[in-house]
Structure 1
Amino acid sequence: MKVEGSQFVPKSKVDASNFVPKSKVAGSWDPNALTWTEHQFYFTSQSWGIKAVWEKVPGSDQPKFTFPLIITEVRPGSEAEQQGLRVRDEVMAVRPEGDAAYREVKRQDKDPRIVSSGKATSYVDDETCGILMRGGRCAIKIRRGEKTQRCECGSDEITEDERQGDLICLRCGVVLRGKVMSMSSEWRTFKDDESGHDPNRAGAADNPLLSSDGMSTMIGASGPVFGPVRNAADLQSGSAANLAKNQFKGSNQNADRAILDAFGHIERMCERLGLPRMIISAAQEMYKVVDEEQKKGKKVGRTVEATVCSVVYLACAEKKVPRTLKELCSVTTSTKKDIGKTFKHIEQLLGKKSGPTSAVDIIPRFSSHLQLSNDLERLSIHIARAAEPFLPGRVYTSVAGAAIYMACLLAHGTPAAGGATLPSAKQISDATGAAEATIRQVYRDMHVRRHALLPAGTAAVVPGRIDSIPDH
């Protein structure tokens, strides 16, 4: 151990000027070095829940994936997310059920259809594209690149000296970087605090949605043994407590507490609905604007809960992640009528127009819940898009359920079903929230125009099924 003044320096720490590896520059390193690792995943459901970039190629009936095959989206709650697949993973090989060996994902070269189209994009071979589009039971191998800090000597064993703020290579001892700023939490010590709390951290991060960005100074006082100080009655007697009471009554903490409770309600609702973080942020921003307008005397909603449901519904529509009113009612005590009235007021107040939700927007989510193949999902979307002009006044959930029901009847017992057991009308009703009788009624209206609703070439995919499907 070497002593420098009053500070200790580890023995393994060598100044870069005193240690120069052969043919290496002292202290040089690559902070963005990638370490590639291979992983295997096994899928049992019909829909895996992953997406990659694909394009329509002239002269080809099915779309083609671009090469290399990089995962661009992992659907929340899917089998892929549960197993740990990530965006930017590269699929290297696939093995469908029944095959003994993996098939390498290859680049398709010199395809006359691609050459004639004038595109320079490389595509995955047709055999692999067919396996990926069918889905079902399959195993895949992926390659994943992870960033690792690596020294020029080739070692990735790099440690941080927290006292000095230096990054040190444990193999060669070179100081790779000095005076590194610590991004960890700041800690404080209160030696004279006897309140029983544990005020170790410096506080929460700035929040622009709160007054003064959430930054405020509170006068400390001996409060309750358990839990934070929620109101002036929680504070005990004493001079410090009296000062704290006066500050508490005259501060804006009450207003912030009300909006924080609403923000917490929004987060809990979005978590129960499985919504991403961007919906929570958008809904909280909308609620902040509504709350400011309410303080000016404008009447928006009857209850805070109805207002929260309305901003979540509007945020979902704005971010193209639509949810139905029935789904919102399932996680709250507000009625559909109250949410609808409040939603109209908020739309006018914010100047936003969400527009009518289409059945096409919600079919992918329902197809994922029902574990339908990609072919069935695309067929359902085409049927719904063609049927909506002929079904004025019908709720989009009923149209979506009827389109999925027709697609399942068409694909029953054909390769388009992917070998899976297709859902019944009752199962479709449970997934979409529409009544089974309503789905069958909409299906009867669609059955009359079935030839106009189906895409070109459907007769070749499901031969003899168009005229033989039942009318109820």
Structure 2
Amino acid sequence: MFSQRYGGTFRVLEFTPDGDTICPMCKDTSCVVKDNKSGDEICRRTGRVLQERCISEEQEWRTFGNDANATGESKNRVGGANDVWLDDGGMERTQIATSNQRMARLNDTATQASQTDRILLEAFRTFRNVANHQKVRESVVERGKDMIKHLSDKDQLQRRKTEVHMLAVLYLACKEDGSFIQLRELRVGYPEITEEQLKNAIKILQKKLEGRPTVAQNQAAVLCNRVCSKLCIRDPHKSLIADACTAAEMQIASAVRPSSLVGAVLWLAVRMLGLTHRIKDIKDAAGAAVQTIQQACKKLEIRKIFSDEFIRLCKPEAVLELEGASEAGAIADGEGGSSASSSSSSSAVAPA
């Protein structure tokens, strides 16, 4: 029982066993709502304010800094560590208000971040700025942070936290994640950094990151989807060609760059489908040289990499012609459409 003032008089409020307020006018609980902003309990049927300035016992709606990428808000009173990559989780620094200067200096000394964490934070900040400039996915950023943390654990980060090194980290993170990016794209916005400096930084980081555990990615299939989009090749051809790239990776034992492998598979696919794409178009979209695409073509067997479903979509005469050229060692010949050469002469370089 609880008394509440109404228009100069007090009326007794009643509550259900569950604690819900019963409106004294309409004797109903289903119409009673809470205004979380003002703290009032209001009956929607009669319009009366049953209680004022109530204290909510529900969880708070709060969003923490480390949840900035999450969608919506979470009902939590506490958050996780600010940064999982720091040894102390970013929670070591605490400020205490005091008029005693000696106590303030002692508190600063006891709670200041370690030198390792300061260097790591500076590197993370530079890397985040570089990543935001390129608008890469969050998965790429996390891979880059893992690389930076690995360098920090090996005491190799002190002199490698500049922009050129963070660009190199971003390049390696994109490559590992399957989101390929070219060096000239990385240098946009950083004209003072030369391509030679960036290449040297990448080579150095590759040596320093040896032994770091990574998650394997089907790089050729991921790149194939991107190249197909550039060439306006849609499903079902797009997905079937990506599957062929995966099979080609398993077939070729020698090291072939994913861009060259994708270019080779696409060059075979467009000729079998009778499309009008030229090898120059594929070369530009995949970022590979004509010669490397042709060399990769010679190592591929059509029936082993392309599924029966894809071959049924192709022109039969083009498939037979390419199979004959493959046996003769001239599968890389031809320029556009289904004009594969079936002669037994040695492979000629297609004009770029």
**TM-score category (smaller protein):** 0.5 to 0.7
Contact 1:301–1:345 (CA<8 Å) still a contact in 2? no
Q: Indicate the residue corresponding to 1:284 in structure 2.
A: 145
Deviation string 1:366-399 (CA, Å, 9 cap, x unpaired) is 3334442122223322443444434723211111
| Residues 181 and 282 (structure 1), Cα distance of their counterparts in 2 relative to 1, 3 Å cut | same
Q: Indicate the residue corresponding to 2:186 in structure 1.
A: 330
How many residues align? The count is: 283
Query: TM-score, length-normalised on structure 1?
Result: 0.45
Structure number with larger C-alpha Rg: 2
Select the residue among 238, 258, 273 that pairs with 1:396: 258
- Mapping of 1:1-400 within 5 angstroms? 16-19=20-23, 26=29, 160-164=35-39, 178-184=56-62, 206-210=82-86, 212-215=88-91, 216-218=93-95, 247=108, 251-252=112-113, 256-294=117-155, 299=156, 303-305=160-162, 308=166, 312=170, 321-324=177-180, 326=182, 330-331=186-187, 333=193, 334-348=197-211, 350=212, 352-353=213-214, 358-388=219-249, 389-390=251-252, 392-400=254-262
Q: Indicate the residue corresponding to 1:8 in structure 2.
A: none
Asked if 1:470 is matched to 2:348, the reply is: no
Q: Indicate the residue corresponding to 1:441 in structure 2.
A: 294
Deviation string 1:117-158 (CA, Å, 9 cap, x unpaired) is xxxxxxxxxxxxxxxxxxxxxxxxxxxxxxxxxxxx7x9xx7
Contact 2:169–2:202 (CA<8 Å) still a contact in 1? no
Q: Aligned equivalents of 1:21 and 1:159: distance in 2?
A: 17
Q: Aligned equivalents of 1:264 and 1:365: distance in 2?
A: 29
Select the residue among 460, 468, 472 that pairs with 2:312: 460
Q: CA deviation at 1:404?
A: 2.0
Contact 2:151–2:208 (CA<8 Å) still a contact in 1? no
| Residues 440 and 248 (structure 1), Cα distance of their counterparts in 2 relative to 1, 3 Å cut | same
Q: Indicate the residue corresponding to 2:346 in structure 1.
A: none
Contact 1:376–1:411 (CA<8 Å) still a contact in 2? no
Q: Indicate the residue corresponding to 1:405 in structure 2.
A: 267
User: 5+ unaligned residues in a row in structure 1: which ranges?
Assistant: 6-12, 28-152, 187-203, 222-238, 414-421
Q: Aligned equivalents of 1:268 and 1:366: distance in 2?
A: 27
Contact 1:384–1:403 (CA<8 Å) still a contact in 2? yes
Q: Aligned equivalents of 1:344 and 1:442: distance in 2?
A: 28
Q: Aligned equivalents of 2:56 and 2:287: distance in 1?
A: 59
Q: CA deviation at 1:461?
A: 1.7
Q: CA deviation at 1:283?
A: 3.3
What letter is aligned with 2:94? T
Q: CA deviation at 1:248?
A: 7.8
Contact 1:380–1:407 (CA<8 Å) still a contact in 2? yes
What letter is aligned with 2:29? A
Identical columns (%): 19
| Residues 286 and 440 (structure 1), Cα distance of their counterparts in 2 relative to 1, 3 Å cut | closer
User: 5+ unaligned residues in a row in structure 2: which ranges?
Assistant: 6-12, 65-79, 322-337, 342-349
Contact 2:179–2:222 (CA<8 Å) still a contact in 1? no
| Residues 456 and 162 (structure 1), Cα distance of their counterparts in 2 relative to 1, 3 Å cut | same
| Residues 433 and 269 (structure 1), Cα distance of their counterparts in 2 relative to 1, 3 Å cut | farther
What letter is aligned with 1:182? E
Query: TM-score, length-normalised on structure 2?
Result: 0.58
What letter is aligned with 2:178? P
Contact 2:247–2:305 (CA<8 Å) still a contact in 1? yes
Structure 2 residue matching 1:262: 3-state secondary structure: helix
Q: CA deviation at 1:184?
A: 3.9
Contact 2:241–2:269 (CA<8 Å) still a contact in 1? yes
Contact 2:86–2:117 (CA<8 Å) still a contact in 1? yes
Q: Aligned equivalents of 1:316 and 1:25: distance in 2?
A: 61
Structure 2 residue matching 1:182: 3-state secondary structure: coil
Q: Indicate the residue corresponding to 2:331 in structure 1.
A: none
Q: Aligned equivalents of 2:25 and 2:132: distance in 1?
A: 53
What letter is aligned with 2:126? H
Q: Aligned equivalents of 1:163 and 1:354: distance in 2?
A: 51
What letter is aligned with 2:82? D
Q: Aligned equivalents of 1:277 and 1:167: distance in 2?
A: 43
Contact 1:363–1:380 (CA<8 Å) still a contact in 2? yes
Structure number having the greater strand percentage: 1
More relative contact order in 1 or in 2 (CA 8 Å, sep 6+)?
A: 1
Q: Aligned equivalents of 1:459 and 1:21: distance in 2?
A: 78
| Residues 268 and 428 (structure 1), Cα distance of their counterparts in 2 relative to 1, 3 Å cut | farther
Contact 1:322–1:362 (CA<8 Å) still a contact in 2? yes
Structure 1 residue matching 2:209: 3-state secondary structure: helix
Structure 1 residue matching 2:298: 3-state secondary structure: helix
